[in-house]
Structures are given as structure tokens and as C-alpha cells.
């Protein structure tokens, strides 16, 4: 068993694959972060991310997988699930070691697991597309704070950019402390300095006057559209898990 | 804007609109153009009501004033309730401001009939027109077509709206006569026919000229109230099938009657909403639309009612045991889709995965098959399969026993598909 340590980037992951093949490692365990020496007899390799090597592996993968298959691998990696790096390695090795494209071989445990992880990411992305609540700031731009379970902000770019093309907006991931800003032309990733009073999820001071009015109207609408005779709390909570409520005016 | 006044109107007119269950906002391909506001493509539920229904659109009536007196409707003329009416501008402002905050996918606008059909329809169309032309709004717009409105207005409505719908209200003409004496079924069918023709013609034009304007790109839908009148499920599903086939409807919605008014023609006020039945109807509807079932396989004169204990797919399977078991590694996709416990997604995965290697129980389970149901109907790469020659009734008992405790707790809440 060889333990490999990498920097957590997708290029790093691809470089790791390069090392595995170069050293013909059969059994590996991949970890993020620094390589500490503890047990003496263990094999350890610190992977240094190398763009050329990563590019070679990617090129190889492109011959084995469809563009969609590679995209899915990339998204599965973005999920940043600690214990799943080995799944990704297993998937990539299975792809390289097979003659045909294996991305639909759902009988294989790696392929199935990658498809599950991509499913988590897609679900979280859809939830964020639904649960982002913009608040209008005095300068006319719209601000939303989110706290997604997975790092899906980059996946939100296309949807929000094509939808809200005529308003400036910021979607800020307060868990990971970075945001996406659209300036009427393009989007870019940003990070912001918040003073301790203006917590990122409460930029109240900067609201426009009618912001409160519309939040209130929305709450009223939400309550009026409910049919009490059909009450079904279980279903309600399954659709909007409680951890998201904090950022939904209708649920506060 | 007078916030208090608008709030009051919103409460009244959202409350009056909520019995229309349709909230779909998908199926349109309207893109954002000229850097305007919004697009309509994917149909997102932005919130869920406490009864678990999707909130996707701002669903309101323009007014609940109405000259008609339909027995099942809270807005009927003879009902003593508060009345309100939005101005055109108020609806436009609400829509735009809700949309910009990502609360909604768009607007679903319906109305009580004031003065006459054309007068009402004209205002609905005006709102859609303003949103599209003055605000460059590309979000979703669903307009209710008022029965009896002129073809000219319907055509204009189709140019601005993504979806148009005329509610049939009652599954049969007799039901409608009984409860909505002012209404006439032909007045509902005429606009459906008109829209169908316009939509087909527009599709043809689009093939020739890419720039031809869109006409109701998300098609038309309708809604029937169930449980207010005596129709059985066979009548309801045959009706739905008829409208899917002959009017190219995108959706038929089934709305379990919520007793809101006391009237000798209606179920008593303390009647519970037929939610399980409604759910079974939706499941049957899915079987027709996505699973390749014919309506007479689901209900017929010997079986005019859907089984409330079990879903219609399982019900079909145990009535047709001669078709099973099937070999999961060989059977056609169409047949796999008919196995209880296997949904569309799992079925697709199975036919892809089996090209690589034969599948066993373990893999089927991981792919998402509900083995406790499917096991009576399939064989796979395993010598372990159901060998007893069980009758359909026995299988139903086993499956029910297994999910019994769950079922008891869930009768009111079961709303999942298969
Ligand atoms: S016409 Fe429509 S709003 Fe008027 S009473 Fe009948 S169902 Fe209600």
C-alpha cells in the first residue's frame, strides 16, 4: 500500500495518476495535504502538481471517455469528499485499463459511485438555483448569501448569468468565503471584507427601501398560497431541508 | 406603490388562485435576448408550501369578482367574500420584483370573469404584453384562457405567453352542467382546438423561418377537479387520454376537491381531500405518458377504480402475472419499465450497464431498484430468485405486509412516484 499526498486540485489528481502509472503502483491511498512521516515502513509519495503531466493524463482520458464523462469526473472531484479521492483514482484506472468507454458501466462500483457523487452535486446546484434569494442593495445591485453543502458556486455561473443579464448581482458562499460577481458584462470570483457588524448574511444597512416591502409581500404570498386542508409537513421538509431556511425570507 | 393595499390584494387574490394546482414552469425554450430579464427553460421550484406543493410561479387572480356562480369555486358570485382587483401595473411590478429576487420563474395569471369573457381576457393579455415588450421580460408566463374569449385575443395571448390553459373543471359534461350551470363545455373546447391549430401552424412556420415568433412554446394544459362529482377513475383517465391525443395537451392536472363551500350538490364540508386518489391518478397519468401504458391497461370496465392500496403499476403487474418473470439482462427497456420497483432512471441504467457485464441483485440494488418489490417479477445473474408460483394476490399481500407500517403512517403523505 502506497500513500500519496496531493494538493487537492484537479491537476493534482491527474498528476497523481501519472505517478501511479510511472511507478506501477498497484495499491494506493490518496490523501489531501502535507505528507508527515510517522510509520517508518510505509511507502509514501508527495505528489507535486505538474501541469505537463496532468495535461498528458487528461489527453489520455479524452481518448477513453466522452467530454461529458470528463466533465462528470471533474464535478465529482469538486464535491471535495475526503474519502472519495480513491474512488476517482479507481474510476480513472478502470477507464485506462479498459478497451471500451466504461462511463456507463453502472455495474462497476467506481462508475456507480462517481455517478452518485455527481448526483449530489447536481442536486445541490439545483437547490441553489432555487433557493438563492437576492436582496436589492442601495446601489441597485442584488446580493444573495448561500451556504451550500458542496462547493457548487462555480456551477451556478451559467444559469444566473443567462437569467439575470440586466442586473448586477453577487452570490456569496459564506461557508467557503468567496463569491461570484456579475457586473452586467461578465462574472468573476471575488472575496469580500466584512466588518464584524455587517455579517455577510445580513447586509441590512445597504438595502434599498423597498427591499423589506417585497420580502414582506413574498412572505404573504407564500402563506396565502398554502392550502391548510392539505398540510403535509414531512413532504415540505423533504423538499426544503431545515438547514436552508435561514436564507429564505418566507421561512424566517 | 401603496404597500398595505397591495399586500391585502395579494392575500385575497393568491388565496383565491391557489386551488389551481398547476404550477409547472418547464417546457418553454424562451431564451434571454438583448440582455433582458430572465429566461424560461428549466422549471425550478423556488419554494414549497407547507402542504408540500411546488412554488414556481406567482399564481394570482387579476380579480376575484365574477359574474358566474360555479358551485365548487370560492370566487363564485353568490359567495359572500372580500373582493379585490389588481391594476395592470401592480401585477407587472410584483412579477418583475419577485423575479429579480429569484423568488419565482414567472407569472401564472388567471381571473374571475368580470363584465364578459373578452373584457377579462383583454386585461390578462395586456399584462403579458407589458411584461414582454416594456420590461423585456423573458421569464415564464402562463395565462388562463377565459372560455368564450375571441380568437383574436387568444392569438395575441399565444404570442406573449409560454403556456395557455383552459380548465375543463369537471371530468364530464354532466358534472359541469350540475356544478357550473353558467359554463358550457363547448366554450372550453373551442379555444383548445383553436390553440392546438395555432401551435401546429406555428411549429410549421418555425421550420421554415427561424425568426417566426414563438406561439405558446410550452403548449396548453388543463385541470379537472376530482371528487366533487361522481365520475370514476376510468371516466377521468379516458377523458385525459382523449385530450392528450386529440388536443396535444402537455399536461392534465387532477385537483382533489377541497371542500370550501356548503352546497347540496357538493361533498359535505368535513369531507377529506382525496389526496391518495389524486396521487394514484397522477401515477396513472405518468404510466400513460412516460411508461408506454395504454389507458385500458390501467383501468377498464372491470376495474373502473384505481387501487388505493397500491400504485397502478404494481396493480397492472399482479393482474398480468403471465408476463413475468422477465430476465433483467435480456428484456427490452419497455418491459423493464413495467416492473414494479424500477423507475425510468434505473431502467435506463440497467440497459446501459448490462452491455458490460450481467447484473446481479447487489448491483440492481445499488442502481436504485426497489428489490423488495421487483424481486417477484424478475430474474438476474443469480440462482437466487423467487421460485414459488405466487398469485398476484399473494404478492400484493407480501408487498403490503412489508411496507405496512410505513404505509399506515404515510397514507396521507405518499406522493412519490414509483
Ligand atoms: S367562472 Fe371561474 S372564477 Fe368564476 S365562479 Fe366559475 S370557476 Fe370561479
Instruction: Choose the closest CB to B366 out of A112, A220, A238.
Output: A112
E strands, B231-389, are 251-256, 326-327, 378-379
Ligand 1 atom 1: residue of nearest CA: B68
Query: CB–CB of A109/A179 below 8 Å?
Result: no
Residues with Cβ within 8 Å of residue A22, at least 6 apart in sequence: none
pLDDT at B408: 46
Cell of B400: 403490503
Q: Separation of B113 CA from ligand 1 center, angstroms? A: 7
Out of A66-80, A91-105, A226-240, pick the least confident.
A226-240
- For the stretch A177-218, pLDDT in tens is 999 999 999 999 998 876 654 565 555 567 888 899 999 999
Q: Separation of B75 CA from ligand 1 center, angstroms? A: 6
Q: Separation of B124 CA from ligand 1 center, angstroms? A: 15
Per CATH, the homologous superfamily of domain B3-298 is Aldolase class I (3.20.20.70)
Number of H helices, E strands in chain A: 8, 8
CA–CA separation, B81 and B194 (whole Å): 35
CA–CA separation, B43 and A159 (whole Å): 12
Using pLDDT thresholds of 50, 70 and 90, give the confidence band for residue A158: very high
C-alpha triplet A24, A88, A18: angle, nearest 5°:
35
pLDDT at A195: 61
pLDDT at A48 over 50: yes
**Before B325, cis peptide (omega within 30)?**
yes
pLDDT at A40: 59
Phi-psi region of B292 (alpha: psi -120 to 50; beta: other; left: phi over 0): left
Q: Do A107 and B359 touch (CB under 8 A)?
A: yes
Using pLDDT thresholds of 50, 70 and 90, give the confidence band for residue A97: very high
- For the stretch B392-403, pLDDT in tens is 888 888 888 877
pLDDT at A16: 95
Average pLDDT, chain B: 88
Identify which of B237, B68, B166, B168 has the alpha carbon closest to the alpha carbon of residue B176. Answer: B168
Task: Over range B234-257, report the average pLDDT.
Answer: 92
Residue A44 backbone phi and psi in degrees, to 5? -135, 145
Ligand 1 atom 5: residue of nearest CA: B76
Q: Do B49 and A226 touch (CB under 8 A)?
A: yes
The ipTM of this complex is 0.88
Using pLDDT thresholds of 50, 70 and 90, give the confidence band for residue B414: very low
Residues with Cβ within 8 Å of residue B210, at least 6 apart in sequence: none
Strand partners, B182: none
List all residues whose CB is within 6 A of at least one atom of ligand 1.
B 66, 68, 70, 73, 75-76, 112-113, 180
Q: Do A225 and B48 touch (CB under 8 A)?
A: no
pLDDT at B251 over 80: yes
Strand partners, B347: none
Q: Do B49 and A222 touch (CB under 8 A)?
A: yes
- For the stretch A7-47, pLDDT in tens is 999 999 999 999 999 999 888 999 888 766 665 566 888 88
The two beta strands, A142-146 and A135-136, are antiparallel
C-alpha triplet A6, A7, A11: angle, nearest 5°:
90
| Burial grade of A126 (CB within 10 A; 0-12, 13-18, 19 or more) | middle
Percentage of chain B modeled with pLDDT above 70:
96
Instruction: Choose the closest CB to B352 out of A104, A210, A232.
Output: A104
Query: CB–CB of B385/B359 below 8 Å?
Result: no
Identify which of B72, B75, B52, B53 has the alpha carbon closest to the alpha carbon of residue B64. Answer: B75
**Which of A187, A224, A237, A238 would you mutate first to test chain B, the one with the most B CBs within 10 A?**
A224
Domain boundaries, chain B: 3-298, 312-415
CA dihedral over B358, B361, B367, B372, signed as positive or negative: positive
Out of A142-151, B90-99, B169-178, pick the least confident.
B169-178
pLDDT at B191: 87
Q: Do B412 and A232 touch (CB under 8 A)?
A: yes
pLDDT at A39: 59
Residue A79 backbone phi and psi in degrees, to 5? -65, -20
pLDDT at A83 over 80: yes
Identify which of B135, B66, B146 has the alpha carbon closest to the alpha carbon of residue B110. Answer: B146
Indicate the Cα dihedral angle B316, B320, B325, B330, nearest 10°: -80
Residues with Cβ within 8 Å of residue B114, at least 6 apart in sequence: B63, B65, B66, B67, B85, B120
Q: Do B49 and A126 touch (CB under 8 A)?
A: no
Query: Helices (DSSP H) in B101-224: which residue ranges?
Result: 117-133, 151-160, 173-179, 185-208
pLDDT at A248 over 80: yes
Q: Separation of B111 CA from ligand 1 center, angstroms? A: 8
Q: Would you tell me the crossing angle of helices B3-15 and B88-100 to the nearest 10 degrees?
A: 90
Task: Over range A77-89, report the average pLDDT.
Answer: 91
CA–CA separation, B364 and B376 (whole Å): 14
pLDDT at A202: 58
Residues with Cβ within 8 Å of residue B315, at least 6 apart in sequence: B306, B307
Out of A100-109, A146-155, B255-264, B346-355, pick the least confident.
B255-264
Percentage of chain A modeled with pLDDT above 70:
92
Q: Which of residues 241-280 of B touch A (CB under 8 A)?
A: 256, 258-259, 272-273, 275
B42 to chain A: which residues are within 8 Å by CB? 129
CA–CA separation, A159 and B303 (whole Å): 47
Tell me B214's DSSP state.
Answer: P
Of B73, B111, B257, the residue with max ligand 1 atoms within 8 A of its CB, to mutate for a pocket test, comes to: B73
Of B59, B64, B70, the residue with max ligand 1 atoms within 8 A of its CB, to mutate for a pocket test, comes to: B70
CA–CA separation, A58 and A47 (whole Å): 17
pLDDT at A203: 58
**Could you tell me the pTM of the whole model?**
0.87
Q: Separation of B180 CA from ligand 1 center, angstroms? A: 8
pLDDT at B385: 75
Amino acid at each position: 500500500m502506497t500513500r500519496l499526498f496531493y494538493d487537492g486540485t484537479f491537476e493534482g489528481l491527474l498528476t497523481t495518476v501519472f505517478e501511479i502509472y510511472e511507478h506501477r503502483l498497484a495499491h494506493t491511498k490518496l490523501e489531501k495535504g502535507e505528507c508527515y512521516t510517522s510509520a517508518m515502513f510505509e511507502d509514501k509519495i508527495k505528489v507535486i502538481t505538474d501541469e505537463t503531466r496532468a495535461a498528458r493524463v487528461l489527453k489520455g482520458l479524452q481518448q477513453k471517455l466522452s467530454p461529458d464523462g470528463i466533465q462528470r469526473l471533474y464535478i465529482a472531484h469538486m464535491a471535495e469528499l475526503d474519502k472519495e479521492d480513491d474512488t476517482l483514482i479507481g474510476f480513472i484506472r478502470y477507464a485506462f485499463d479498459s478497451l471500451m468507454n466504461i462511463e456507463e458501466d453502472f455495474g462497476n462500483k467506481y462508475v456507480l459511485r462517481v455517478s452518485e457523487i455527481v448526483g449530489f452535486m447536481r442536486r445541490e446546484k439545483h437547490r441553489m438555483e432555487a433557493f438563492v434569494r437576492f436582496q436589492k442593495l442601495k446601489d441597485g445591485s442584488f446580493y444573495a448569501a448561500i451556504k451550500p453543502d458542496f462547493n457548487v458556486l462555480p456551477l451556478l455561473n451559467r444559469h444566473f448569468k443567462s437569467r439575470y443579464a440586466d442586473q448586477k448581482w453577487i452570490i456569496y458562499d459564506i461557508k467557503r468565503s468567496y463569491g461570484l460577481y456579475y457586473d452586467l458584462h461578465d462574472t468573476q470570483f471575488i472575496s469580500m471584507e466584512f466588518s464584524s457588524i455587517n455579517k455577510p448574511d445580513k447586509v441590512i444597512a445597504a438595502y434599498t427601501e423597498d427591499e423589506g416591502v417585497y420580502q414582506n409581500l413574498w412572505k404573504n404570498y407564500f402563506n396565502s398560497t398554502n392550502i391548510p386542508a392539505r398540510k403535509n409537513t414531512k413532504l415540505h421538509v423533504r423538499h426544503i431541508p431545515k438547514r436552508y431556511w435561514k436564507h429564505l425570507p418566507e421561512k424566517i | 406603490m401603496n404597500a398595505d393595499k397591495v399586500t391585502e390584494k395579494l392575500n385575497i387574490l393568491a388565496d383565491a388562485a391557489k386551488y389551481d394546482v398547476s404550477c409547472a414552469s418547464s417546457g418553454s425554450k424562451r431564451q434571454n435576448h438583448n440582455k433582458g430579464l430572465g429566461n424560461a427553460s428549466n422549471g425550478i421550484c423556488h419554494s414549497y408550501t407547507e402542504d408540500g406543493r411546488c412554488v414556481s410561479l406567482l399564481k394570482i387572480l387579476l380579480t376575484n369578482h365574477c359574474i358566474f356562480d360555479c358551485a365548487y369555486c370560492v370566487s363564485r358570485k353568490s359567495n359572500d367574500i372580500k373582493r379585490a382587483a389588481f391594476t395592470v401595473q401592480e401585477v407587472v411590478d410584483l412579477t418583475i420584483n419577485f423575479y429579480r429576487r429569484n423568488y419565482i420563474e414567472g407569472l401564472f395569471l388567471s381571473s374571475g370573469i368580470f363584465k364578459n369573457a373578452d373584457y377579462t381576457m383583454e386585461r390578462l393579455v395586456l399584462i403579458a404584453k407589458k411584461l414582454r415588450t416594456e420590461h423585456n421580460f423573458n421569464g415564464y408566463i402562463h395565462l388562463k384562457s377565459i372560455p368564450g374569449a375571441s380568437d383574436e385575443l387568444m392569438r395575441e395571448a399565444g404570442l406573449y405567453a409560454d403556456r395557455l390553459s383552459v380548465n375543463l373543471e369537471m371530468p364530464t359534461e354532466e358534472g359541469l352542467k350540475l356544478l357550473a350551470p353558467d359554463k358550457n363545455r363547448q366554450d372550453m373546447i373551442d379555444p383548445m382546438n383553436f390553440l392546438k391549430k395555432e401551435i401546429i401552424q406555428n411549429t410549421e412556420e418555425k421550420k421554415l423561418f427561424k425568426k417566426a415568433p414563438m406561439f405558446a412554446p410550452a403548449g396548453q394544459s388543463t385541470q379537472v377537479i376530482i371528487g366533487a362529482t361522481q365520475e370514476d377513475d376510468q371516466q377521468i383517465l379516458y377523458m385525459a387520454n382523449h385530450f392528450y391525443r386529440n388536443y396535444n395537451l402537455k399536461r392534465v392536472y387532477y385537483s382533489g376537491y377541497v371542500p370550501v363551500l356548503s352546497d347540496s350538490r357538493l361533498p359535505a364540508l368535513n369531507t377529506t381531500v382525496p389526496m391518495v386518489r389524486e396521487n394514484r391518478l397522477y401515477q396513472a397519468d405518468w404510466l400513460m405518458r412516460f411508461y408506454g401504458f395504454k389507458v385500458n391497461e390501467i383501468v377498464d370496465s372491470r376495474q373502473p377504480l384505481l387501487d388505493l392500496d397500491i400504485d397502478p403499476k404494481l396493480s397492472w403487474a399482479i393482474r398480468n402475472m403471465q408476463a413475468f418473470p422477465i430476465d433483467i439482462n435480456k428484456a427490452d427497456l419497455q418491459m423493464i419499465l413495467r416492473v414494479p420497483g424500477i423507475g425510468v432512471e434505473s431502467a435506463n441504467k440497467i440497459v446501459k450497464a448490462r452491455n458490460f457485464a450481467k447484473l446481479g441483485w447487489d448491483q440492481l440494488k445499488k442502481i436504485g431498484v426497489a428489490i423488495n418489490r421487483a424481486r417477484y417479477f424478475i430474474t438476474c445473474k443469480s440462482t437466487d430468485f423467487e421460485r414459488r408460483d405466487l398469485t398476484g394476490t399473494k404478492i400484493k399481500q407480501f408487498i403490503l405486509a412489508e411496507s405496512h407500517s410505513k404505509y399506515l403512517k404515510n397514507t396521507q403523505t405518499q406522493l412519490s412516484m414509483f
